[in-house]
Structure formats: C-alpha cells, structure tokens
Amino acid sequence: MDAIPGIIDRVNLLAPGFAERAPLHDRTAAFPFENFQELADAGLLALPVPKALGGGGGSIRDAARVVGLVGKADAATGLVLAMHYIHHLVIAKGGGWPAHLAGKVGRDAVSDVALINALRVEPDLGSPARGGLPATTARRTPEGWRISGRKIYSTGAPILTWMTVWAKTDEPDVRVGQFLVPAKSEGIRIVETWDHLGLRASGSHDVVFDDVLIPHDHEIDVRRPSAWGPPDVTLATIQAVLVGAVYDGVARAARDWLVDFLKTRVPSSLGAPLSTLPRVQEIVGGIAAKLAVNARLIDSFARDIDEGRALTASEGNILKLTVTNNAVAVVEDALSLTSNHGLTRANPLERHYRDVLCGRVHTPQDDSTRIAAGRLALGI
C-alpha cells in the first residue's frame, strides 16, 4: 500500500515528460532541473521523509518503485533521486544522524527543491570503500569547522542543497567521517568536469571546498579510523535496492523499445515482423526472465528491510551485482537483435546501453562482492 496515496499515478504523470526531455539532456549534458521541480511539486522529493516532519513517511519499497519508474524515463534523474532517497531512508531507520540535523534536511525536502547526496570520492583516494584516509580536511576553529578539499563524481552537484562530506579532522588524534555542508556555502566551487559515456545529465562534477565554514554541530558521524568497521548493513542494503532499481528501470525502457521495434520491423526478405522468428522469441524470453528475477529481488529485499528482517551486507552486495548485471545483459541482448538500428542515435537503445553500463561502477564493484562472498563461503 502506498505511503502517499497515488504516488505511482503521480510518477506516471511525470514520466513521459522526463522521457521526452532525456535525449536532449543526454546530448547536451545539461542538468534536468525541471524534472526535480516537478518531483517537488508532486510531493515526491519528500516521499521518504518521516511524517512527523511533514513528509510522506514512505517505505523503502515505495522508494524503489518510484526510482525504478523515474530511472526508466530518465536514468540521470533516477540516480540523483535515488541518492537523495537513500539519505532520508537511512535517517528514518536511525542511521546515526543527530536529531537537529535530521530535522533540518527533512523539513527542507518537504518545503523546497532541496536534495542531498554524499561526496566521498577523491582524485587520489578513489572510493573510500577501498580503504584509506581522505585528503579532504575539517579544521577545527573557534567559529566552527573549516572544510578544504576536492571531491569527484559528485552526483547531482548542480542541484544539491546539502552535501555530506567525507573528511578527516586536523586533530592530534585524527578522526574521520561525515560533515553536513550547506551547498551554497561561501568557498564551494563546482568544476564542470563530468563528460561521461553514460548518465551524462547527472551533473556528477568535481566539487572544491576552500576553507568552507560550517557550525561545530554539523558533524554527522566522525570517529577514529580504527572505530570504523564494516559498512553499515542498513545503508548497504538500502543503497543496493535503490541503485539496482535505477538500472533495472533502464533495462525495462530498453525492453519496451525493443518489443515495439520487433513487432513493427518487417524486413522485405522475411515478409513478416521480426517478432515472428523463434530465435527472437527465445532472446526476448531470456530478457523477460532476467527482469522477472530483478523484480523479485528488488521487491523482496525492500520488503525485508521495511519489515525489519535481518540482512547481511553480503546479501545486499549480491543483490546489487545480480540486478545491475542482469540489466546490462538485457540491453546487450536487445542490441543483439537490432543491428545498426540499436546503435543509431535516432533510437534510444544506444543511450540506454551507455547508461546501464554505469551500474557496474557503483560501490561495491563486482570484484569486491565476489571476493567477499567467496571468503565467506570458504570461512576465511
């Protein structure tokens, strides 16, 4: 049952416009600001915000359904929305946020086009999931923390209201963790470096922090490096579900275009639609099987988290690996049936392929997931 009545109807009203604008945003790499204004106007940015703060109190299952439909219409919009939702869902699950900060970002999402994302990756460090301390530093001063450093691949940078920045402190006993930084703070500069094969409209630019002042109480969770253990299971599984839903949505868009193409394409040598060929039917059946598996995995994992069932980080990582690789395989299968038609820019399939490949980039990468699962199985 929807947390906000009619949320799927609301998304379905917006999705055609998102899909219509997606090719131009892809070509120009222009950020889709208008999509987020429409999502805000429809009350969808506040979907996962607790009802006590004026939000929808939406579940992870609700969020996954919305993200999947938005990702199907426009992958870049879907990914930015997923990252925003992940933050609010983790907060709602008791993700270690101070109450005053959780309230601040929640109320903003209800009242404005106010999005949030984590800025963690750096030019030298790469992803912190692989270990190591960030170069970005929080310097304690009498008036507050001063943040300096550079983050890369900062998805949604042009529209963010809040940034959770992974940084180390300058204290003698160094700590590391997240600091909440208002995106409009003096000393923040967005460097438009994002020129990518896929998700070109996601605005995943570099963000430079030059002595940016934030209050002392804007620490979210900052600990000694040794106190950071394995990734938080709640965060890992919510992220796996929502990131998976984005790329599953892309694969479903590819499937829909493919089915229409196969039913309407009538080669003169065949004298009948391509859909009548047994080989075509077999491959489309394989696509249907992969998407059916994805749907079950995403929905069952989301439901398990919502209902408080214990999951492991390994399970969440395997979900992400399976769903994203199934999504890539679906689009590759579609390309195998469409020849030059699938790769021409006049058709959307080549864009779906470029977008879906980005699913493999998200933490954890496939090698890390397989190694961890293998060690677990071997008892190492």
Q: How would residue 215 be classed by pLDDT, with cut points 50, 70 and 90?
A: very high
8 Å CB contact between 161 and 110: no
- Write out the DSSP string of 364-379: SPHHHHHHHHHHHHHT
Does the pLDDT value for residue 159 go beyond 80?
Answer: yes
Half-sphere exposure for 344 (CA within 13 Å, toward CB): 6
Q: Are both 178 and 242 inside the same structural domain?
A: no
pTM (2 d.p.): 0.95
Average pLDDT over residues 93-98: 86
Picking from 186, 201, 227, the residue at the C-terminal end of a domain is: 227
C-alpha separations of 265 from 17, 274, 286, 287, 357 in Å: 26, 6, 20, 19, 27
Q: Are both 237 and 223 inside the same structural domain?
A: no
Q: Are both 241 and 366 inside the same structural domain?
A: yes
Q: Are both 143 and 72 inside the same structural domain?
A: no
- Write out the DSSP string of 45-63: TTTTS-GGGTS----HHHH
Q: Are both 77 and 92 inside the same structural domain?
A: yes
Q: Are both 249 and 364 inside the same structural domain?
A: yes
In a domain, 1, yes or no: no
* Terminal Cα-to-Cα distance of the chain (whole angstroms): 42
Average pLDDT over residues 261-282: 96
The reply to whether omega before 50 is within 30° of 0 (cis) is no
Q: Are both 370 and 285 inside the same structural domain?
A: yes
In a domain, 2, yes or no: no
* Tens of pLDDT, residues 131-146: 789 999 999 999 999 9
Q: Are both 309 and 356 inside the same structural domain?
A: yes
- Residue 34: per-residue pLDDT: 98
In a domain, 296, yes or no: yes
Does the pLDDT value for residue 127 go beyond 80?
Answer: no
What φ, ψ does residue 150 adopt, rounded to 5°? -135, 130
Q: Are both 345 and 220 inside the same structural domain?
A: no
Which domain range does residue 190 map to? Answer: 119-227
* Rg over CA atoms, the chain: 21
- Residue 126: per-residue pLDDT: 72
Does the pLDDT value for residue 199 go beyond 80?
Answer: yes
Q: How many domains does the chain have?
A: 3
8 Å CB contact between 228 and 50: no
Q: Are both 270 and 206 inside the same structural domain?
A: no
The three-state secondary structure class of 319 is helix
Picking from 70, 93, 113, the residue at the C-terminal end of a domain is: 113
The whole-angstrom separation of Cα 257 and Cα 118 is: 34
Q: Are both 97 and 198 inside the same structural domain?
A: no
In a domain, 358, yes or no: yes
- Residue 313: per-residue pLDDT: 87
**The CATH number of the domain where 98 resides is what?**
1.10.540.10
Does the pLDDT value for residue 318 go beyond 60?
Answer: yes
**The CATH number of the domain where 132 resides is what?**
2.40.110.10
User: CB burial class (10 A; 0-12, 13-18, 19+) of residue 131?
Assistant: exposed
**The CATH number of the domain where 286 resides is what?**
1.20.140.10
Does the pLDDT value for residue 2 go beyond 80?
Answer: no
Q: Are both 301 and 262 inside the same structural domain?
A: yes
- Residue 1: per-residue pLDDT: 44
